[in-house]
């Protein structure tokens, strides 16, 4: 089973999300919105299939990265989240919270051995 298929997003804490967005827009030309930037791309093996990777600054007070105490969170794209979660459970990896289904796709969270929170994302790119 193919597990991680790519990076879904870069999420990090900062003191002032608006200032971060403005700086990256002004100096690096990123098309930032209130929540960050979305980079769209095409799948190499299937150019008709679109995908995206997000860059998002979070307020330094966010609780979204808990139980990690780190200032960042990894988001990895996966093909079959439910199968991956089942496999991870057999390997002794427990979910942080519950599997979630949203308009953007399915999400699950785990922790790596160093306390980094990992968001696993099965996107709904084709919809």
pLDDT for 11-58, tens place per residue? 999 999 999 999 999 998 999 999 999 999 998 888 988 888 999 999
Residue 56, judged by CB atoms within 10 A of its CB (0-12, 13-18, 19+), counts as buried
Displacement of CA 63 from its chain's centroid (Å):
15
Which residues lie below 8 Å from residue 96, measured CB to CB, with a gap of 6+?
67, 109, 110, 111, 117
Eight-class DSSP state of 8: E
The closest alpha carbon to 38, from 81, 74, 73, 9, belongs to 9
Global pTM value: 0.87
**Cα gap 26→83, rounded to integer Å:** 42
Q: Which domains does the chain have, with CATH numbers?
A: 4-44+60-123 (3.10.180.10)
pLDDT digits (tens, 9 = 90+) for 77-118: 998 999 999 999 999 999 999 999 999 899 999 999 999 999
């Amino acid at each position: 089973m193919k597990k991680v298929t790519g990076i879904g997003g870069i999420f990090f804490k900062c003191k002032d999300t608006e200032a971060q967005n403005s700086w990256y827009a002004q100096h690096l030309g990123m098309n930032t919105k209130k929540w960050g930037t979305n980079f769209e791309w095409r799948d190499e093996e299937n150019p008709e299939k679109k995908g995206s990777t997000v860059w998002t600054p979070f307020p330094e007070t966010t609780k979204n990265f808990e139980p990690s105490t780190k200032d960042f969170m990894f988001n990895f794209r996966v093909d079959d989240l439910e199968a991956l979660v089942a496999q991870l459970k057999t390997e002794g990896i427990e979910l942080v919270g519950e599997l979630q289904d949203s308009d953007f796709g399915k999400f699950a969270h785990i922790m790596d051995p160093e306390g980094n929170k990992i968001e696993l994302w099965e996107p709904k790119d084709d919809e």
